[in-house]
Amino acid sequence: MRFASLGSGSRGNALLVEAGTTRVLIDAGFGPREMSRRLERLGLTAEDVDAVLVTHEHSDHIGGVFACARRFDWAVLLTHGTLAACRDNGADVRTTIIDSQESLSVGDICVHPFPVPHDAREPVQFLLADGDKRLGVLTDAGHVTPHMVAMLGACDALVLECNHDAQMLAQGSYPQALKRRIGGLWGHLDNAAAASLLSQVGRSSLRHVVAAHLSEENNSPALAQEALSAVLNCAPDWIGIATQNEGFAWRDL
């Protein structure tokens, strides 16, 4: 199994996972042309992707899903609530409704969705496994729940939201209402919350930890790396960063 990011942050998200002959995206926040351009960097074309797993209906995650699915014949898997909250009803797209707590197979990849607290209709995040390795992905969650901790235990790789630094958010230029939303229970994880989650999960098999969905205004890569590396007792630069423009390159499990 290997994984890479095409971009991560409030202007668009897409994480690519490959196992056996199967390639799936988690989210597609970029339109067809931009998606093709970003996939090219990883040595792929859009036709190499089989399916997209959608976490929730916010545009940075779903913005390119249906346009890409129509153009490239991708299957789309999403919860009932996420589809219901979309302006696009998914007509002419191979759409599969998933249960937020029920595992399923997509080709060679076992997909284990789990519900998260976020201000969307029926948001989920995903643990992906190939029978040998486990990749846990978590962005867009307002707080850490015991169920999230249980789902992300014993992973070989974790991609974890480090959306903001609480102090930078508080002192930053965002309007009060937006600050309350982002920092609230159904908003986004800050560096300290991500570190707390990391401290609660089994870490003995962890080979990759990548901080994701960083706010360009209210966080810095160094602060996210500092928070997560303190838990692992590792060098800060061992913690990867998923950036908005570049994502990150393939990582092998």
Stretch that binds Zn ion, among 52-60, 155-163, 170-178, 191-199 (CB under 5 A): 52-60
Cβ at position 56, least distance to Zn ion in Å:
6
Whole-angstrom distance, CA of residue 197 vs CA of residue 42: 30
Any contact of residue 161 with Zn ion (CB under 5 A)? no
Any contact of residue 50 with Zn ion (CB under 5 A)? no
3-state per-residue secondary structure call for the chain: CEEEEEECCCCCCEEEEEECCEEEEECCCCCHHHHHHHHHHCCCCHHHCCEEECCCCCHHHHCCHHHHHHHHCCEEEEEHHHHHCCCCCCCCCEEEEECCCCCEEECCEEEEEEECCCCCCCCEEEEEECCCCEEEEECCCCCCCHHHHHHCCCCCEEEEECCECHHHHHHCCCCHHHHHHHHCCCCCCEHHHHHHHHHHCCCCCCCEEEEECCCCCCCCHHHHHHHHHHHHCCCHHHCEECECCCEEEEEEC
- Torsion, Cα 57 245 186 198, to 10 degrees, reads 120
Cβ at position 22, least distance to Zn ion in Å:
25
What end-to-end distance do the CA atoms of the chain give, in Å? 5
Stretch that binds Zn ion, among 32-40, 54-62, 156-164, 222-230 (CB under 5 A): 54-62
Any contact of residue 27 with Zn ion (CB under 5 A)? no
Any contact of residue 208 with Zn ion (CB under 5 A)? no
Any contact of residue 165 with Zn ion (CB under 5 A)? no
Cβ at position 58, least distance to Zn ion in Å:
4
Considering only residues 27, 60, 165, 190, which one is a binding residue for Zn ion as defined by CB under 5 A?
A: 60
Cβ at position 80, least distance to Zn ion in Å:
18
Any contact of residue 122 with Zn ion (CB under 5 A)? no
Cβ at position 107, least distance to Zn ion in Å:
26
Any contact of residue 58 with Zn ion (CB under 5 A)? yes
Considering only residues 18, 34, 57, 140, which one is a binding residue for Zn ion as defined by CB under 5 A?
A: 140
Total chain residues near Zn ion (CB under 5 A): 3
Which residue lies nearest Zn ion, judged by its C-beta?
58
Cβ at position 8, least distance to Zn ion in Å:
9
Stretch that binds Zn ion, among 58-66, 171-179, 219-227, 241-249 (CB under 5 A): 58-66
Q: Footprint of Zn ion on this chain (CB under 5 A)?
A: 58, 60, 140
